[in-house]
Structure formats: C-alpha cells, structure tokens
Amino acid sequence: MEGRAEGRGEGRHRLRGELLKRGVAAGIADEVLGELLPEDDTEAARQAAGRFLRGRRVEAASLARHLARKGFSRRAIVALLRELPGAPEFEDADLGPDPE
C-alpha cells in the first residue's frame, strides 16, 4: 500500500476503498493505512498535482476532480486549490464530505 501511495500518487480514501473491495475489514484497513500513511495528505496531494499539471494549465475544478479521484482528502484538495494563482473563491463545505 505504501508503494501505491507514493508511486502512483493515490490517497488514503482510494487505498481504503481498494482494501475494502478486496475483502479487508474496515477496522483493519484503517489500522494499516494509519500506520503506513501520514494523517495529513497535503504533501502527497501536492506531488500528485504536480505530476498532473506538468507545466500545463488546467482549470482548478479539473485538478480538484483529479485529486478527488485519486482519493485525497477534501482538506488537502482545498489547501492546494487555495495555493493556485487566481484560484476561485469557495468554501470547504462546497466540496462536500470526504468519502468513506
């Protein structure tokens, strides 16, 4: 799991979903991910965003959707969007809750 998080730039929520899909109990999945991944996934989301952008310009909404599909937390996505030059104004609540 740690290799997938680092190598493919996948967030905690996506990895958790993969574990649950493969039959791992939710408690065990949470415990394993808690040991392997930092609680704050902002830096990992920043790296994934950098790979996605690679010098090209995309809309903030496109980047947000990409990071959400990769399983990063809403908190990390909002933090990165706020760092973008000319980013639109929005509230954290506009993005809804993190997936379970």
- Count CB neighbours of 86 within 10 A: 5
- Which tens digits make up the pLDDT trace of 9-61? 788 889 999 999 999 999 999 999 988 888 888 888 999 998 898 888 888 88
Stated pTM of the model: 0.70
The rounded distance, in Å, linking the Cα atoms of 40 and 5 is 13
Tokens (6 digits) for 2 = 């740690």
Q: What is the CA radius of gyration of the chain?
A: 14
The rounded distance, in Å, linking the Cα atoms of 16 and 48 is 18
What is the reported pLDDT for 29? 93
